[in-house]
Structure formats: C-alpha cells, structure tokens
Amino acid sequence: MTRWLLTGGAGYIGAHVARALLDSGRGVVVLDDLSTGVRSRVPEGAAFVEASVLDTDAVRAALTSYDVSGVIHLAAKKAVGESVEQPLLYYRENVGGMVSLLDAMALADVSNLVYSSSAAVYGDPAWSPISEDTPCAPLSPYGETKLIGEWMVRDQARARGMSWVSLRYFNVAGAGSPDLGDTSANNLIPMVFDALDRGERPQVFGTDYPTPDGSCIRDYIHVVDLASAHVASAQLCEGGDAAAVFNVGRGIGASVWEVMAAVSEVVGRDVDAEAVGRRPGDPPELVAMVDRIRADLGWSASHDLHDMVASAWPARPNPV
C-alpha cells in the first residue's frame, strides 16, 4: 500500500481528498496545524499529525516515520483580499511553507508531489476558456504566491528529480456530505447561504459586465470531483516522471445570476437577489479549458452546478 501525506488535510478540500485517497486504497497521513482546519474532519483510517508545514523537522519526521511515498500539498492561506492587506503573511505561509516542505521531502527522499494551485495565477486573461499555456499574470499576492509555488516545484524537480503535478483549481463548491461543508463563507455560494440564513437578500456584485446577463462568469467545480482529480494525479506521480500543470474545472461557465437561479431551485423559493456594484478586481469571465486533464489524466467532472448547490445547502455552517 502506498501512503500519502496530505498537508491541510483537515480543511474543506483536504477532508474530501483524504476520503478519496482512502477509497482508492492508499494510506493517508494528514498534517495540519488546525489554524483553519478542523480535527473532526480527519477521517477514521487516516493518521493525524498536528504541525505546520513551516516546521520542516516535523514534516520530515512524519514523512519518514509513516514511510510516505508522496505528498499532496494543500496547506495554505487562500483569501485574496487578506493577501492584499497582509502580503507578507501570504509569502511566509505559502512560499515559506513550500520551501519548508520541499526541504523536508528532499531530506526524507520523497519525490512525488501534487500541489494545490489556483486559477488565480491567470489574473484577468484576454481569452476564455483558459488553457494552461495562457501567460500567468496574477492580480493578488495570493495568486502570486500560488504561481511562485508552481515555479518552486518545477525548479526543485529539475534539480533533484521529482514526479509532480500542479492543479489549478477553478471555483470549488459543494460538499461530499453534510459534515464536510465549506465553513469559511468567503465565496459566492456560502455567502448566498449566509445572507439567506440571516434573512437578507443575497447580492450580485456587478451587473454591467460584458457577459450575456451582465454578471461575472466562473467555472464551478464540485469538491468531490476536485478530490478525484487529486487521486488521479497521485497515480500519475506514482508512475514516475510526471511534470504536469492541469486546470481543474468543468470547462463550463455559470454566471452569478445562474448560480442565484440554482440556489432558488434548491431552496424552493426565489432568493430575490439584489444587484449591487462591482467588487474591485473581479475578472468578467474565468472558464477552464479542460482538454489537457481529460487527455493526460483521463479525468473529467461528473457533477453539475445543481449538485454543488444541493449538496452545499445542508452542509452550511448553521442551518436554520
């Protein structure tokens, strides 16, 4: 049995990846400092190490003592606005975290790595759908640290030989079960639910974009599909000599108004969303080109927007 270390494995996405890895027959060691992760999300059957990725000795010890063959690195700060206000926090945690992890991997002689990157590396690209070869021009320190992380993996792989995959997530949503929802309320669907639970009208940020209905278009991807992309990536790494960057999306755009319609359908009433002004820095359209991941990994998403909203609704933090 191969065993994978999952940094950030007690987070929203990590909890789903941990289960998918266990279901694939792999062993799992979750390493998480519980700064935003939750211990109860770590599944039975996974080992747990409470430590920060910045603690190189602790990561190295976990890799060695559990005889780990690869790492899935999710642990990171991920709030775009916060990264603008506190860039050094993002450089310390995301870039420093990657230095520490790659050091620990070299010391423990572990060379398989799946890295959690983001569509934020593209910034506001001139074309949509976006291929992996589109020039990267991130618009926030968050996106910059994710792109730097990709470079670090690539460079370390050239220097010492690694088998690696970087996954550029688009807009992740949904839940695999009611106890595994996204509790952070930083993104559209959790924010809509939060407004509804407080008896307020959800807001549409900007209705004058150059899109068919005037609201922004994103490529929403179910967290369960995202988790299976990690398992397929781990498998590719295990085969040796992987060096790949993949978009992880559906290749299908949905506008904010379309998300509001999906929520209305799920909750059984019109959510009566309110059009408000644009949020600064939002690109009009971000949709993934998914040909590469389909061809090279044999992976494609199987859940649609309705599945995401319907699974996220009972999984929201404080259902009323």
- Which residues are part of the catalytic machinery? 142
Q: In what order do the strands lie in the sheet with 27-32?
A: 47-50, 27-32, 3-7, 70-73, 112-118, 163-169, 243-248
Q: What are the percentages of helix, strand and coil residues in the chain, rounded to 5?
A: 40, 20, 40
Shortest distance (Å) from residue 116 CB to ligand WQD: 8
Taking the least distance from each CB to ligand WQD, the nearer of 242 and 315 is 315
Q: Applying CB under 6 A, which of residues 7, 100, 111, 203 lies at the interface with ligand WQD?
A: 203
Shortest distance (Å) from residue 54 CB to ligand WQD: 19
Q: Applying CB under 6 A, which of residues 18, 105, 113, 120 lies at the interface with ligand WQD?
A: 120
Q: Which long-range contacts (CB under 8 A, 24 or more apart) does 211-215 make?
A: 211/255, 211/284, 211/285, 212/255, 213/255, 213/257, 213/258, 214/257, 215/255, 215/256, 215/257
Sorted by sequence, the CB contacts under 8 Å of residue 124 that are 6+ apart come out as 137, 139, 283
Shortest distance (Å) from residue 153 CB to ligand WQD: 17
Stretch that binds ligand WQD, among 47-55, 91-99, 148-156, 201-209 (CB under 6 A): 201-209
Under DSSP, the state recorded for 131 is: P
111 binds ligand WQD (CB under 6 A): no
Burial grade of 273 (CB within 10 A; 0-12, 13-18, 19 or more): buried
Shortest distance (Å) from residue 51 CB to ligand WQD: 22
131 binds ligand WQD (CB under 6 A): no
- Euclidean distance between CA atoms 111 and 130, whole angstroms: 29
State the binding string over 217-236 for ligand WQD (x if CB under 6 A, else -): -x------------------
279 binds ligand WQD (CB under 6 A): yes
Task: Name which of residues 67 to 86 contact ligand WQD (CB under 6 A).
Answer: 78, 80
156 binds ligand WQD (CB under 6 A): no
70 membership: H or E segment, kind and range: strand 70-73
Q: Applying CB under 6 A, which of residues 238, 282, 304, 307 lies at the interface with ligand WQD?
A: 282
Locate 150 and state its tokens.
């990709």
- Euclidean distance between CA atoms 162 and 49, whole angstroms: 24
Stretch that binds ligand WQD, among 14-22, 106-114, 115-123, 307-315 (CB under 6 A): 115-123
Shortest distance (Å) from residue 4 CB to ligand WQD: 21
Shortest distance (Å) from residue 120 CB to ligand WQD: 3
Nearest to 305 by CA among 220, 201, 243, 209: 220
Note the residues at the interface with ligand WQD (CB under 6 A): 78, 80, 118-120, 171, 187-188, 191, 203-205, 216, 218, 256, 279, 282
